[in-house]
Structure 1
Amino acid sequence: MDRIVEADRIIVGPVGEVLDRAAVLVRGDRIAGVGPADELAVRCPGAERLRFPGASIMPGLVNSHVHLAADLSREPFGTVRQGLRDEVLALVRANAQACLRSGCTTVRDLGDAHGVVAEVRDQDRAVASSPTPRILAAGAPLTISGGHCWFLGGIADTDAEIRAAIDARAAARSDLIKVMAGGGQMTPGGPSEFESQYTVAQLRLIVEHSASHGLTVAAHAHGTATILDCIEAGVATIEHCGWRSGPMQRDRPEEAVRRMAAQGTIAGDTTPPQWRRMVERITFPDGFRFGDQISWMTDHGVAHVIGTDSGMPNAVFDEFRTSLELYEELGFDRARIIETATTGAARLLGLGASTGAVREGLDADLLVVDGNPLYNLDVLHRPSHVIVRGRGYSQADLSPAGTATEPVA
């Protein structure tokens, strides 16, 4: 049945595009019209009308970095490594549903094991068996022997192994390739977060071979040296992108960031919902504060997408709004923040022709929020109505369905 969803305003997506006293006509999984509710009702006299006085309609949010197969514990991939298949699939679905609860109608999953996230993605596309967002799945990340997250099964050391691993991801219908270009804190005995795991030549091979399958590359890189390698190799997104060369070291290489902007390399921010608690435990060099690299890169023209790294310890899936608040504290205005988390993210991740704005012809990925987020981001916390490809859910429909949505003590 056609539905007309009407509210006090529509925040279309791009900064400055707001329609007052307007409505959206949803037909099947698409947006069939945008405009005055009475005009849409004349076009579709049998349509159901859903009225939300005082509310705003806006595009669904895009969380660009999550781990749906992780369980928030101190060993977040313990369940997917050791759990029963049905248990793991249930975990993925519970976490995906939690993303919807926070208004995220699209998520990019950047690392699982055994292809479980893609399995849930495909099942949902075919059957719509549970409330889940649009999912971009990378599968198991490429890494070296003993490297960051080697236990997820993505070890590829030689050129031949790299090509074979990418071929396997493409055969499993991955949406992109994830590579652990640098080390991380979560793998005892492996390279540190300031060390590189692959050479520039190997990273370039990963980019080129992925492109032969029509896939882009997201690279895990905290350290400055690794980030420089990723820029040289031409990866699509650099995840974390912290520009650090060691403890208490914050780097600002001007020439590198200008090149990053010029060639369109995207910074993948990963501000977890608990970022305020993290700030209390971090000592910064004089003149620096949490998130400064975001402002610095933005000032130099680098585009970025916003993720939460949800699934990692205490990084819950249903608090995306809290991560957005960092941008407000950094001085970004709310309209810009909303655009970055909707229209901008969809465009940068290659989804602009399908989602990211309230426009006729796009998929019906919409939120109804009580109040006006251009005045107060808090209204994004729990949208009263979430629509994904035309399927609508209330917050009651999206109530917690799994323990992984709660942080550990």
Structure 2
Amino acid sequence: MDTLITAGRVLPRPSTPVPDGAILVRDGVLVAVGPRAEVLAQAAPGAVRHDFPTGTALAGLFNAHVHLAFDASREMLAHFLAGPSLEDARARLASMLRSGVTTVRDLGDRGHLGAAVRASLEGAAAPRLLVSGPPITVPDGHCHFFGGATTSDASIRSLIDENAAAGADVIKVMATGGQITEGGADMWEPQFDARQLALIVTHAASHGLPVAAHAHGADTIEAAVEAGVSTIEHCSFMTGPRTFDRRDPVAAAMATRGISACSTSSRNWRTIVEKLGPEVAQAMYGRLPWLEEHGVRLLAGTDAGLPGSVFDDPVGALELYEWLGFGRRRILEIATEDSAAGLGLSAVTGRLEAGLAADVLVVEGDPLASLAALRNPLLVLARGRAAA
């Protein structure tokens, strides 16, 4: 059955708006995208039709860093330790779809919850879900409660093997400390050295898997780049509690090697700016335009599941980029085609183009004029299936 969508404007890419456009979907795949008359001519007579004369159709959004095992409450960790729920995780994923997110990367769970969620939703309307399984960490280290503590090279390899066998799409390593684990390394302090990071990248590659490195510290970011990870999560370039060291050669190497950075900033960024003050906030968040200037690919990700980082407000996080001076077209590129490229999905999704998956978001208004339009979804398709 053909599905035909018409809209006041269609964005095959954010840089190529088509006024009075249309999209033809067949069997979960985009068949035609372009001016209305051209697309209508290709539709079957009995096509299911959706008309949005004042709406904008664009590719579905990405959230490249979430934790479906967490509930985003202040008691998030206690609730998780009491036992993550498959049904709760499914509900969180469903809320992301309703908000316009059609591709999700879960970067840390216990017991391969993400893989179980994905299997339970086979054939249903749900975002494409990439999973890491339990991240590699150290005993009592950052997020050790996911079950990924390692004590030797052999145990690192074994965990990678286990995650790969369980269906992981990416290997996650907690290369530095973090905020939510008491007693471990500070955020800027390393948990693994350059040799171990190289071992992780090499062994993950033996399974055909990329590596995502959680890395706040400047030294560890540099080591992760040298090791050849695919994405750096947070990428804060910290050297202390409120000190940062942006290293131009490291950013240049990231750009040259195609290593992406995921800022993991949620809608809480405004609260953080107020708490830290403008000078420290600019030192922290200013890394994003700095990375952009160096040609580093940026990924949209929010760390959804952490306290206050809700699953159903991708726009609140994207507004940080606008505050930093990014144009709306560029922000939409980060949230769609750039994130697709960074996750190796350019041939699958991220643009409205014939042959790609029918991951489509239709919103009221024009997000190129105001990002707030993204808060008004009219229709969301994930691989051709409509969100409930």
Q: What TM-score, normalized by structure 1, do the two folds share?
A: 0.91
Can you list the C-alpha shifts for 1:124-144, whole angstroms capped at 9, x where unaligned?
Answer: 12x41xx42111111111100
* Contact 1:105–1:388 (CA under 8 A) maintained in structure 2: yes
Q: Which residue of 1 aligns with 2:202?
A: 208
The 1:286–1:155 alpha-carbon spacing in structure 2 relative to 1, beyond 3 Å, is closer
Q: What is the one-letter code of the residue matched to 2:63?
A: N
* Contact 1:4–1:23 (CA under 8 A) maintained in structure 2: yes
Q: Which residue of 1 aligns with 2:350?
A: 356
- Distance in 2 of aligned mates of 1:56 and 1:76: 36
Q: Which residue of 1 aligns with 2:361?
A: 367
Structure 2 counterpart SS, 1:57: strand
Name the Cα RMSD after superposition.
1.6
> Matches of residues 272-311 of structure 1 in structure 2 within 5 Å?
272-283=266-277, 285=279, 288-311=282-305
Structure 1 counterpart SS, 2:267: coil
- Distance in 1 of aligned mates of 2:146 and 2:30: 39
Q: Which residue of 2 aligns with 1:270?
A: 264
Q: What is the one-letter code of the residue matched to 2:10?
A: I
Establish whether residue 163 from structure 1 lines up as the match of residue 160 from structure 2. no
- Distance in 2 of aligned mates of 1:54 and 1:355: 25
The 1:286–1:56 alpha-carbon spacing in structure 2 relative to 1, beyond 3 Å, is closer
- Distance in 2 of aligned mates of 1:281 and 1:42: 56
Q: Which residue of 1 aligns with 2:73?
A: 73
Structure 2 counterpart SS, 1:240: strand
Q: Kindly, what percent of the aligned residue pairs are identical?
A: 46
Q: Which residue of 2 aligns with 1:336?
A: 330
Q: Which residue of 1 aligns with 2:112?
A: 115
Structure 2 counterpart SS, 1:309: coil
- Distance in 2 of aligned mates of 1:91 and 1:279: 31
- Distance in 1 of aligned mates of 2:75 and 2:152: 28
- Distance in 1 of aligned mates of 2:31 and 2:238: 47
Can you list the C-alpha shifts for 1:195-230, whole angstroms capped at 9, x where unaligned?
Answer: 100111111010010011010000111111211111
- Distance in 2 of aligned mates of 1:228 and 1:319: 32
Q: Which residue of 2 aligns with 1:94?
A: 91
* Contact 1:6–1:21 (CA under 8 A) maintained in structure 2: yes
Establish whether residue 24 from structure 1 lines up as the match of residue 8 from structure 2. no
Q: Which runs of 5+ in 1 are unaligned?
A: 398-409
The 1:82–1:45 alpha-carbon spacing in structure 2 relative to 1, beyond 3 Å, is same
Q: What is the one-letter code of the residue matched to 1:356?
A: G
Structure 2 counterpart SS, 1:112: coil
- How many Å apart are 1:285 and its aligned residue? 4.8
* Contact 1:258–1:300 (CA under 8 A) maintained in structure 2: yes
- Distance in 1 of aligned mates of 2:77 and 2:97: 22
- Distance in 2 of aligned mates of 1:96 and 1:37: 32
Structure 1 counterpart SS, 2:282: coil
> Matches of residues 143-162 of structure 1 in structure 2 within 5 Å?
143-162=137-156
Q: What is the one-letter code of the residue matched to 1:311?
A: G
* Contact 1:103–1:382 (CA under 8 A) maintained in structure 2: no
Q: What TM-score, normalized by structure 2, do the two folds share?
A: 0.96
Structure 1 counterpart SS, 2:216: strand
Q: What is the one-letter code of the residue matched to 2:86?
A: L
> Matches of residues 128-277 of structure 1 in structure 2 within 5 Å?
128=124, 131-277=125-271
Can you list the C-alpha shifts for 1:109-135, whole angstroms capped at 9, x where unaligned?
Answer: 11111001111112212x41xx42111
* Contact 1:64–1:307 (CA under 8 A) maintained in structure 2: yes
The 1:183–1:284 alpha-carbon spacing in structure 2 relative to 1, beyond 3 Å, is farther
- How many Å apart are 1:319 and its aligned residue? 0.8
* Contact 2:273–2:281 (CA under 8 A) maintained in structure 1: no
* Contact 1:142–1:155 (CA under 8 A) maintained in structure 2: yes
Structure 1 counterpart SS, 2:373: helix
Structure 2 counterpart SS, 1:307: coil
Count of residue pairs brought into register by the alignment: 387
The 1:175–1:286 alpha-carbon spacing in structure 2 relative to 1, beyond 3 Å, is closer
Q: What is the one-letter code of the residue matched to 2:242?
A: M
Q: Which runs of 5+ in 2 are unaligned?
A: none
Q: Which runs of 4+ in 1 moved over 6 A?
A: none
Q: Which residue of 1 aligns with 2:34?
A: 35
